Structures are given as C-alpha cells and as structure tokens.
C-alpha cells in the first residue's frame, strides 16, 4: 500500500455510537462524553467525531486535508441524516449541524465552533416550513452567516455587528428579538454583501457540503491559533494532543417558550454543596447565555416553568454523576419540550468545593477514600490557607506582578523597613514597598502585612521570606518604579502614582495590586479539610516537615501538620537590633580572641532561639543548618557607606569649629574603617563565595559556638522533660573532607557540653546536598553523614549556572520561547537537576542503605516536585509552614500513583 492509501484506509471518523468515555485521547473530551451519554441511553442529538489523529496528521501533512477523510465524513453524515430523517441541503426538510472542536484536555473558549451549518438561501425557507417559524429560520441564517463569516472566512466581526446594531437601533426594544422579519431579511442581505466584499467578490458559499468541509478545516486550524497556543503554553498542555471535531445535528432552544438552553452542575462549584446548580434561558440559543444579553434564571425556576423537563434533568444529571462518579458540568437544550443533552464533563470547582465534594462522595458511597484524596489538586489548598480578596468585590487593579506568596492584605505603603517597623508598632497596617528586598530589610518584612517589590522573581528574597512567613507578597511588579528619595512610586502606563501612606491591597494569589482597601475573606479549616487531610496522611508514606526559623513559625508548621523541622536557618537569628552589632563585631574582629569574645556574646541569643524551637517541636526532629550566608551580608552595603562618607566629608567642610570637626573626623575614620572591611569582604559572586562550611572551615569557632548553643539548649530542654531530636546540618559541602572536619568540630563541642552538663542528648549529623559535586561524590560524603538534605534552590542555581536573583531579566523570554517549560526555581527540573538528585540518593544509599534523605529547597512544597521526591525515594520533604498541607496531599497522591524507584 502506498502511504496515501495507508492514510486513506485509517479510521478518521467515529459515529457517536462507536465511542465511549474512555476514548478521550482519540475523540476529545466532548466527543467521548457525548458518545458515552448516548451509550447509556440519554437523549443526545446524533452526530459523529473526527479524531484528534486526523488533526495531528493534518499538521504532519503540511496542512493538507487527509485522503479518506472526506469519504468517511460523508458516510457518517448519511447516518446522521438517516437517524434524524433530515438531509443536509434539502430544500424542504434540511438537516442543520454544529461543528465544534473538542480536545482531550479542556480548553474552554479557546477554539472555534460553527452552529446552524447547512443553511443557505434555499434551506432557510425549508427550515421556515419545517419549524413553522420563518422569523426563527431567518434569525438562524443571519447568525450562521456572521459566525461562519468570522470563523471560517475570516471576515472582521465588527462589520457584521455594525449592521446588526443599526437595525436593532431602529426597533422599539433595541434587542435581537425585536427585529422584524423584513429587518432580518435586510440584515441577511447586508451580511452577504459584507462577505462578498471581504472575500474579493466571492459569494457566501451556498453549498452545505462546502460549508461543512470548510468549517471542519477551520476548527482544526484553530488548534494552532494564537489563542489556543497561548492557552496551552500557560496550562502546560502539549501541542501534540490535537483536537477532535464534532459534527452534530442541531437542536434549537430558541423555537419558542417551550424551548430553552442551560448549563448546570450537579453540585455547587463554589461551596461543594450537593444540589442542582446552574442557570437557563427559555427561547434562547447557547450563545445568548454566554453573551449575557439576557440574564439567565437559576435552574430551580425551571421546575415551575417546565416541570416535566426539570424532573427529567434532575434524574439525568444524577445518573450522570453516578455514572462518572464525579461532579458534572452539563449543557442541555430543550427543543419544543424535549430535553437534549449536549455535553457533560467533570466540573471545575474551587478548593473548598473540591474538598467537600470529595469527602461527601465518600460518605455517599460513590467513591472510596483514596479516590477522594486524588480528587483535590494540592495547589487548591492554598486558597484555604490564606485570606483572599472577596471575588464579588469591585476592585481597581493598579498593576499585576508575580503571585509570589498567596493571600491578601491591605495596608499603607511604606518604602522604608525601619519606618515600617515603627508604624507597625504603633498599630498601623503596612505594606512594605521596595525595589527588591535583602536580609537587612527582614525586620520591616516581619512588621509589614504584605510585601510588594518592583524587581525579583518567584524565588527572590522577598518571595522566599514572605512564603516562609505566610505573608502575601507580590514580587517583580515591573511596571513600578520606586523613587526612595521622593517616597513615591510611579506605575508605567498609568498616571496614578503611589505615595508613602497610600492604602493598597495586595492579592498574593494572583499578583494583583489593588487600589485602596479591598474586602477580603478569612480562611477557615472546615471539618471536610481535616477529614481529607487525615485520609491523605493515611495513604502517605513520605514524611512532611517544615522550614521554620522561629518558635512562631514552628508552631504554625506544627498546627498545619508538619512532622518536624527540615530546615532551621540560623542566620535569621543573626539579624535583629540587639544582635547585628555583635555579629558585626565578630566580623570585624582582627584576631581569634576578639572573634571569640563576640561569639560568646551571641551564644545566649542563639541558645534561647533553639530552646524556643525545641519546646514547640517537642518530640519531633529539628534539623538545624549552621551559618550559611557570606559574612558581608551582615555589613552595610557599599553604596550606603559611600553615600554616608560623602555626606560626612561635606559636613567636615562646614564644621564651625575645631571641636565639631574633630567629632566628624572621628566618624569619618570609623566609616572608612568599615568601608575597608566591606571592600575586603566584597565578592564577585557571593552565591559561589565564602559561605556555608567554607566560613566555618576558616573560622571553626563559629561552628563551635553554634553547636554549643544547640547542645546547651537541647540539654536544657531535656532537663525540663522536653523530648528533643536535634539534627545538625552542614551547608555548601562539596567534598567529604569538608563535612568530616565540620562534624569533628560539632562532635567535640557536643562532648564538651555534655561533660559540663553531666548529661547527653541523642543527635544526628548530616549535610546539605546542594552543589553538583556533592551529588556526584555522594557515596564518599555519605560515609560521614546520618542524613542528606537536598538544597534544590542552590542545586538548581549551580546545575543551570543560573543566579535566581539575576534571572528575572531573561526568564520571561525563556518561558516565552519555551526554553523553560516551567521556572526551574518553582518546579524541580527533573531532566537536569533531577538526575543529580537521583544520583545523590543512589550513591548515598549505596554505602549507607538507611541514609535518611529529604529536601529543604522551595521545591519541597510544590506538588510536581513532591511527586518527584517520592519517586526518587526520599524519606521526607520540607517546605514553608503554609505549604505543609499541600505537601501532605501531594505526597499522598504520589504514593497513590505508586511509582517509586528502588534505591
């Protein structure tokens, strides 16, 4: 057989009678579900589906129509004609059909539909006779010409609507339905002239078969239309799925007041309540409902208007829900009292609804608990955990940035972290607005209700810290230009600007920046939520911990179900008004002795912090990472210093007398000394610089102080009968020797402290795996470690050679060009970084089979990454407290999916 013959002999067209709900890949969602409804005996207008394979083959074949497709379509059409007793193009009893797209994954509104196909100057009269309603027939014809004109022939819709508007303006009611038959005839004539002019003097196609062929092509073409491609990019849908095309006999909801059309859900999609929920319009076509010209009625009213149909609908929708074992989103049409089902599919629902429906369906015996666990998308839980902007409220959107940390909050703008702290202390609600944030701004972020930055990505400092604190954050709102000097912020493309003290509301779940105080809704944990999470925990095999640096965060985490702390960052304890000066003293120390004096002063602070966390986490493990960032993060910025030096030099010149001058000169001298240190510690690439264990290898006394604080706190807790399980972790390890040396310091300190205290505490020692080399030599590193914790933020940075702080300038282009399908700092890059993670796990366990392994990067709370961690064989994931429920559910779903590597 030649290739053409092979193609021609393939089956491109399926009658509805030939399909079922499991054939979505081939027939698309709509085609499969319509076939299924027909199969279970529901009233469905006859029709057929052209497969997704035909679509793919079409693109594969340089957009040539496929051999065999025409023949198979005509045959299927004959079948529909036979079932309906009508014939396409027949002047007296014409068949009209709809041509609709339908891809395997729902892409609502993204592709094209043609209704009323088959009408022409002759059949319109046949339709008039057939229905006994000439007005209806003409109305259908004018709708068809404009729809076909726009979608298939590419005529500017504007031209049609201008004509229609002109005619409507001449009627009393100014509505479509007020047009007279003569006016409709005029409209049709004008429409045909528009097409003729637009198509280079070609008539509107009168041959229904030509109409059908062209409409099918147009639907298939719409798969690669800009709208559809963009949608797929955003929703991560492959171009390779293709769309099916459904050709179906028309039924009409606009044939009088015993006709109508509607959509309904088997449960309330916002709350999940079990009820028939939806709306309908009598004497209307589906597009009227969508267009919003007439206000549809709540579905319950149909019971009064058409009680028989309503009863039938209730019965059918319940059957459908039972059949699909899930909440259904259903489209129907009533033609002269007869109910027709046009579409059913699993209904989209809010997070709240998803949980309630899942839990109630278990109670009803429709599904089992594990199915219920799989029914809620983990990300949907986010809505439940944070206040949200009231979706019904009227709001003014100033600009949209990245949805960096979910939740909503209102406050007055402050550009300065110190001011923010002070105003917050006075009881004001503050939104901290910065170009971008750095660790020096931490106290201002703590004080603020929410954080807004003009720069930085989803994993910028602001975003990470805000998520850690569970505070809303909108990051990288690029339209904002902050002017600290004038304390204002302009918005590109807008004449509005924001001043210090202005009220705004941030919607961290969508990235919206709203003017003024927008009304918000507070989160609440329903009993449905609690039940679902219990079921999730029952199937989950991987642990979930939280990243928490303070007793407050730890308490939140525990409340949200964290089974321990997977990452306690000790550097956050180095900031704070009382501590920073001591930390600087330590950094500026010129000898070991001086440095030890400063460390001695820091010790009680650290000990107190650790004790607080141990108390909150009683009985659960707490993984503490020793100091990680480079020391210069604790010094003022170079720019700041240069500025104050310039100011001081200016002051010197204006000094009134020698005494004044002396004072200023002293200050100058101090600043210059500091400047020298800042210069000395400045790094070209701090991310790759003198940080983590590299610091404590040069200054082992820092690790010793931290270890002492941990062990003293642990001993104290234990003496108060608080069970402590400290796990100490060394950052930025790339060689086994680094780990060995650091752990020696920790072990020696433990022995010393236990000796002093006359007691001892069990503890584990481990390492971060956050550099490619650590993963590559994990077997050698594992000999020294009780556990590994994958720091996938840094591992992503180093594996890609990509600084997350600097990626904002090109990441958008990378997403647009599909170089990255996802931001690798949000979703773990399985292809690259994932290889190193797997290597690290396999090699680590090759020498120590019971090595405890977790992840503590941002990815630990992202569902797809959690799934990967499960598959790779990790013991636990750790994430920000407010993502703990998400991780729990994602881990449960991963366990249900059941693919796990043997390591």
Query: Nearest approach, Cβ of 627 to a copy of itself (angstroms)?
Result: 14
The verdict on 297 binding a copy of itself (CB under 8 A) reads no
Contact partners, residue 316, CB within 8 Å, separation at least 6: 42, 339, 341
Gap between the Cα atoms of 28 and 50, Å rounded: 9
Residues within window 627-646 making contact with a copy of itself, judged by CB under 8 A: 638-639, 642-643, 646
Query: Nearest approach, Cβ of 322 to a copy of itself (angstroms)?
Result: 46
Contact (Cβ atoms closer than 8 angstroms) between residue 709 and residue 610: yes
Q: For residue 341, what is the enclosing H or E element?
A: strand 338-346
From 30-38, 506-514, 575-583, 798-806, give the range in contact with a copy of itself by CB under 8 A: 798-806
From 150-158, 287-295, 728-736, 754-762, give the range in contact with a copy of itself by CB under 8 A: 728-736
Gap between the Cα atoms of 11 and 7, Å rounded: 9
Of 108, 493, 801, 849, the residue at the interface with a copy of itself (CB under 8 A) is 801
Of 832, 873, 875, 900, the residue at the interface with a copy of itself (CB under 8 A) is 832
Backbone angles phi, psi at 699, to 5 degrees: -120, 75
Of 98, 509, 798, 893, the residue at the interface with a copy of itself (CB under 8 A) is 798
Of 172 and 817, which CB lies nearer to a copy of itself in the complex structure?
Answer: 817
| Residue 22 buriedness (CB in 10 A; 0-12 / 13-18 / 19+) | exposed
- For 124, 147, 196, 205, 521, the CA distances from 202, given in Å and listed in that order, are 20, 17, 5, 8, 57
Gap between the Cα atoms of 893 and 888, Å rounded: 9
Gap between the Cα atoms of 97 and 88, Å rounded: 8
Query: Nearest approach, Cβ of 649 to a copy of itself (angstroms)?
Result: 8
Per-residue 3-state assignment (H helix, E strand, C coil) for 50-69: ECHHHHHHHHHCCCCCCCCH
Nearest to 625 by CA among 803, 873, 854, 862: 854
Query: Nearest approach, Cβ of 869 to a copy of itself (angstroms)?
Result: 18
Of 357 and 641, which CB lies nearer to a copy of itself in the complex structure?
Answer: 641
Of 123 and 799, which CB lies nearer to a copy of itself in the complex structure?
Answer: 799
Burial 583-596 (b: 16+ CB within 10 A, else e): bbbbbbbeeeeebb
Query: Nearest approach, Cβ of 592 to a copy of itself (angstroms)?
Result: 13
Of 699 and 876, which CB lies nearer to a copy of itself in the complex structure?
Answer: 699
The verdict on 440 binding a copy of itself (CB under 8 A) reads no
Of 139, 829, 858, 862, the residue at the interface with a copy of itself (CB under 8 A) is 829
Of 158, 577, 817, 902, the residue at the interface with a copy of itself (CB under 8 A) is 817
Query: Nearest approach, Cβ of 241 to a copy of itself (angstroms)?
Result: 20
The verdict on 225 binding a copy of itself (CB under 8 A) reads no
Of 820, 868, 876, 882, the residue at the interface with a copy of itself (CB under 8 A) is 820
Residues within window 740-759 making contact with a copy of itself, judged by CB under 8 A: 741
The verdict on 393 binding a copy of itself (CB under 8 A) reads no
Of 28, 689, 854, 860, the residue at the interface with a copy of itself (CB under 8 A) is 689
Show the tokens assigned to 185: 């005839």
Contact (Cβ atoms closer than 8 angstroms) between residue 881 and residue 560: yes
Gap between the Cα atoms of 273 and 360, Å rounded: 9
From 139-147, 245-253, 500-508, 811-819, give the range in contact with a copy of itself by CB under 8 A: 811-819
The verdict on 786 binding a copy of itself (CB under 8 A) reads no
Question: Helix crossing, 592-616 with 700-719: angle to 10°?
Answer: 30
Of 117, 128, 462, 771, the residue at the interface with a copy of itself (CB under 8 A) is 771
Contact (Cβ atoms closer than 8 angstroms) between residue 115 and residue 215: no
From 209-217, 409-417, 810-818, 891-899, give the range in contact with a copy of itself by CB under 8 A: 810-818
Work out whether strand 397-400 and strand 512-515 pair parallel, antiparallel, or are unpaired: antiparallel
Of 698, 758, 850, 899, the residue at the interface with a copy of itself (CB under 8 A) is 698
The verdict on 803 binding a copy of itself (CB under 8 A) reads yes
Query: Nearest approach, Cβ of 224 to a copy of itself (angstroms)?
Result: 19
Contact (Cβ atoms closer than 8 angstroms) between residue 431 and residue 452: yes
From 212-220, 271-279, 689-697, 711-719, give the range in contact with a copy of itself by CB under 8 A: 689-697
Gap between the Cα atoms of 13 and 157, Å rounded: 31
Burial 464-493 (b: 16+ CB within 10 A, else e): bbbbbbbbbbbbbbebbebeeeebbbbbee
The verdict on 224 binding a copy of itself (CB under 8 A) reads no
From 26-34, 291-299, 567-575, 817-825, give the range in contact with a copy of itself by CB under 8 A: 817-825
Nearest to 800 by CA among 831, 769, 768, 844: 831
Encoded one letter per residue, x for contact with a copy of itself by CB under 8 A and - for no contact, window 646-685 reads: x------------------------------------xxx
Of 160 and 820, which CB lies nearer to a copy of itself in the complex structure?
Answer: 820
Show the tokens assigned to 742: 């650091």
- For 173, 263, 285, 702, 851, the CA distances from 177, given in Å and listed in that order, are 8, 22, 12, 82, 74
Of 593 and 684, which CB lies nearer to a copy of itself in the complex structure?
Answer: 684
Query: Nearest approach, Cβ of 85 to a copy of itself (angstroms)?
Result: 54
Query: Nearest approach, Cβ of 436 to a copy of itself (angstroms)?
Result: 10
The verdict on 831 binding a copy of itself (CB under 8 A) reads yes
Query: Nearest approach, Cβ of 379 to a copy of itself (angstroms)?
Result: 25
Of 639 and 902, which CB lies nearer to a copy of itself in the complex structure?
Answer: 639
Gap between the Cα atoms of 555 and 573, Å rounded: 17
| Residue with tokens 């209806």, as numbered in its chain | 136
Of 112 and 770, which CB lies nearer to a copy of itself in the complex structure?
Answer: 770
Gap between the Cα atoms of 349 and 273, Å rounded: 11
Number of C-beta neighbours around residue 808 at 10 A: 18
Of 64 and 783, which CB lies nearer to a copy of itself in the complex structure?
Answer: 783
Contact (Cβ atoms closer than 8 angstroms) between residue 269 and residue 347: yes
Number of C-beta neighbours around residue 758 at 10 A: 7
Of 43 and 478, which CB lies nearer to a copy of itself in the complex structure?
Answer: 478
The verdict on 697 binding a copy of itself (CB under 8 A) reads yes
The verdict on 799 binding a copy of itself (CB under 8 A) reads yes
Number of C-beta neighbours around residue 415 at 10 A: 22
- Reduced to 3 states (helix: H, G, I; strand: E, B; else coil), residue 256 is coil
The verdict on 485 binding a copy of itself (CB under 8 A) reads no
| Residue with tokens 């949000």, as numbered in its chain | 826
Residues designated catalytic = 461, 856
Of 133, 644, 651, 735, the residue at the interface with a copy of itself (CB under 8 A) is 735
What is the size of the binding site for a copy of itself (CB under 8 A)? 54
Of 1 and 684, which CB lies nearer to a copy of itself in the complex structure?
Answer: 684
Of 229, 588, 800, 875, the residue at the interface with a copy of itself (CB under 8 A) is 800
Of 585 and 779, which CB lies nearer to a copy of itself in the complex structure?
Answer: 779
Query: Nearest approach, Cβ of 463 to a copy of itself (angstroms)?
Result: 15
Query: Nearest approach, Cβ of 805 to a copy of itself (angstroms)?
Result: 4
**Reading across the β-sheet that carries 473-475, which strands appear in turn?**
397-400, 512-515, 503-507, 408-414, 430-434, 450-453, 473-475, 402-405
Binding site for a copy of itself (CB under 8 A): 638-639, 642-643, 646, 683-690, 694-695, 697-698, 732, 734-735, 737-738, 741, 770-773, 776-777, 794, 797-803, 805-807, 809-810, 813-814, 817-820, 829, 831-833, 835-836
């Amino acid at each position: 057989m030649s290739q053409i013959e092979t193609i021609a002999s393939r089956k491109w067209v399926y009658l509805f009678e030939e399909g079922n709900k499991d054939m979505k890949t081939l027939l698309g969602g709509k085609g499969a579900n319509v076939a299924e409804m027909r199969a279970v005996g529901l009233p469905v207008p006859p029709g057929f589906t052209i497969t997704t394979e035909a679509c793919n083959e079409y693109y594969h074949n340089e957009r040539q129509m496929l051999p065999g497709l025409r023949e198979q379509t005509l045959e299927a059409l004959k079948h529909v004609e036979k079932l309906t007793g009508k014939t396409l193009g027949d002047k007296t009893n014409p068949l009209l059909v709809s041509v609709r797209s339908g891809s395997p994954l729902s892409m609502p509104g993204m592709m094209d539909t043609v209704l009323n196909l088959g009408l022409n100057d002759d059949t319109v009269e046949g339709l008039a006779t057939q229905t006994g309603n000439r007005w209806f027939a003409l109305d259908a014809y004018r709708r068809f010409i404009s729809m076909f004109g726009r979608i298939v022939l590419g005529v500017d819709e504007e031209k049609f609507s201008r004509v229609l508007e002109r005619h409507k303006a001449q009627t009393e009611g100014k509505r479509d339905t007020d047009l007279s038959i003569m006016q409709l005839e005029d409209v049709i004539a004008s429409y045909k002239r528009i097409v003729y002019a637009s198509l280079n003097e070609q008539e509107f196609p009168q041959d229904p078969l030509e109409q059908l062929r062209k409409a099918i092509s147009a639907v298939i073409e719409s798969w690669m239309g800009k709208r559809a491609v963009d949608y797929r990019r955003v929703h991560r849908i492959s171009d390779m799925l293709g769309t099916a095309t459904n050709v179906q006999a028309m039924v009409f909801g606009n044939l009088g007041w015993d006709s109508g059309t509607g959509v309904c859900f088997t449960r309330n999609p916002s709350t999940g309540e079990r009820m028939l929920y939806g709306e309908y319009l009598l004497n209307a076509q589906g597009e009227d409902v969508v267009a919003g010209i007439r206000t549809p009625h709540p579905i319950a009213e149909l019971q009064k208007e058409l009680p028989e149909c309503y009863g039938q609908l209730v019965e059918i929708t319940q059957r459908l829900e039972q059949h699909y074992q899930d909440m259904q989103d259903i489209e129907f049409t009533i033609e002269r009292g007869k109910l027709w089902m046009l579409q059913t599919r699993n209904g989209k629902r809010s997070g709240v609804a998803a949980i309630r429906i899942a839990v109630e369906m278990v109670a009803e015996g429709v599904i089992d608990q594990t199915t219920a666990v799989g029914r809620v998308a983990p990300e949907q839980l986010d809505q439940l955990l944070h206040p949200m902007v009231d979706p019904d409220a009227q709001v003014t959107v100033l600009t949209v940035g990245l949805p960096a940390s979910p939740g909503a909050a209102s406050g007055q703008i402050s550009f300065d972290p110190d001011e923010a702290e002070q105003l917050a202390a006075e009881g004001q609600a503050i939104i901290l607005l910065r170009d971008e944030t750095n660790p020096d701004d931490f106290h201002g972020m703590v004080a603020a209700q929410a954080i807004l930055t003009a720069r930085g990505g989803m994993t910028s400092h602001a975003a990470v810290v805000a998520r850690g604190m569970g505070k809303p954050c909108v990051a990288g709102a690029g339209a904002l230009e902050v002017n600290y000097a004038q304390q204002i912020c302009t918005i590109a493309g807008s004449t509005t600007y924001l001043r210090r003290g202005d009220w705004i509301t941030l919607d961290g779940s969508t990235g919206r920046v709203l003017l003024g105080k927008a009304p918000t809704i507070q989160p609440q944990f329903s009993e449905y939520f609690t039940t679902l999470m219990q079921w999730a925990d029952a199937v989950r095999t991987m642990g979930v911990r939280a990243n928490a640096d303070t007793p407050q965060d730890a308490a939140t985490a525990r409340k949200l179900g964290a089974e321990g702390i997977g990452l306690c960052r000790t550097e956050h304890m180095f900031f704070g008004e009382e501590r920073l000066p001591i930390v600087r003293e330590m950094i500026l120390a010129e000898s070991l002795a001086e440095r030890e004096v400063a460390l001695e002063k820091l010790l009680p602070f650290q000990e107190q912090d650790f004790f607080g966390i141990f108390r909150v986490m009683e009985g659960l493990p707490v993984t503490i990472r020793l100091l990680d960032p480079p020391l210069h993060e604790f010094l003022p910025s170079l720019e700041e210093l240069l500025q104050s030096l310039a100011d001081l030099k200016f002051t010197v010149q204006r000094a009134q007398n020698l005494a004044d001058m002396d004072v200023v000169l002293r200050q100058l001298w101090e600043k210059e000394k500091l400047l020298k240190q800042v210069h000395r510690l400045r790094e070209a690439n701090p991310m790759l610089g003198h940080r983590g264990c590299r610091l404590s290898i040069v200054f082992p006394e820092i690790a010793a102080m931290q270890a002492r604080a941990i062990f003293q706190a642990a001993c104290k807790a234990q003496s108060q009968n608080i069970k402590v399980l400290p796990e100490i972790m060394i950052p930025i390890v790339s060689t086994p020797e680094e780990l060995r040396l650091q752990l020696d310091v920790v072990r020696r300190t433990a022995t010393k402290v236990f000796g002093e205290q006359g007691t001892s505490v069990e503890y584990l020692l481990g390492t971060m795996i956050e550099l490619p080399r650590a993963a590559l030599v994990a077997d050698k590193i594992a000999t020294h470690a009780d556990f590994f914790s994958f720091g996938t933020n840094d591992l992503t940075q180093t594996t890609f050679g990509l600084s997350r702080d600097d990626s904002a300038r090109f990441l958008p282009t990378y997403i647009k060009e599909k170089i990255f399908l996802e931001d690798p700092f949000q979703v773990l890059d399985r292809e690259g970084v994932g290889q190193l993670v797997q290597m690290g796990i396999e090699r680590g366990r090759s020498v120590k089979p019971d090595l405890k392994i977790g992840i503590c990067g941002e990815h630990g709370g992202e569902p797809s990454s959690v799934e990967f961690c499960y598959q790779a064989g990790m013991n636990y994931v750790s994430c920000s407290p407010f993502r703990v429920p998400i991780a729990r559910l994602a881990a449960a779903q991963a366990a249900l999916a059941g693919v796990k590597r043997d390591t």
